[in-house]
Amino acid sequence: MKKRRVYSESFKREAVELSENSDKTSKEVALDLGVSYPMLCKWRSKYLKEGQNAFPGHGNLNEKDRDHKLLEKELSKVKEERDILKKALGIFSHSPGRNTNS
């Protein structure tokens, strides 16, 4: 199995700038850099859309994604607490005179 290559934020940014400012076509720039043309196109569109925040790096999420992750984590915790409370309610809601060990 082929190992996935990871490119640094600076490499991506320089590749995008080179593809925009070079006399070469984007396909030629991609070939020279050893990346696929679709990958370079994806980097370009992301850079045009998000600017300097386009490539936050490994583990460094932008503010929107970080907030989304925090909300997902909080939701997961709340669901777990809800499930525990449901189980506790089921246990304590049995009438005291009723024997469940029969």
- pLDDT at residue 97 above 80? no
Q: Identify the pLDDT of residue 94.
A: 78
Co-location of 55 and 72 in the same domain: no
| Its pTM surpasses 0.85 | no
Q: Structural domain tally of the chain?
A: 2
> Hey, what are 81's tokens?
């607490």
Co-location of 77 and 29 in the same domain: no
Co-location of 36 and 84 in the same domain: no
Rounded-to-integer distance, Cα 50 and Cα 19, Å: 17
Co-location of 65 and 54 in the same domain: no
H or E segment to which residue 68 belongs: helix 63-92
The answer to whether residues 2 and 12 touch, using CB atoms and an 8 Å cutoff, is no
**Full domain range(s) for residue 23:** 1-59
Task: Summarize pLDDT for 10-54 with one digit per residue, the tens.
Answer: 899 899 999 989 899 999 999 999 999 999 999 999 888 888 777
Whichever domain contains 45, its CATH number is: 1.10.10
Co-location of 41 and 72 in the same domain: no
Q: Which amino acid is at 33?
A: L
| Selection from 40, 35, 49 nearest residue 17 by Cα | 40
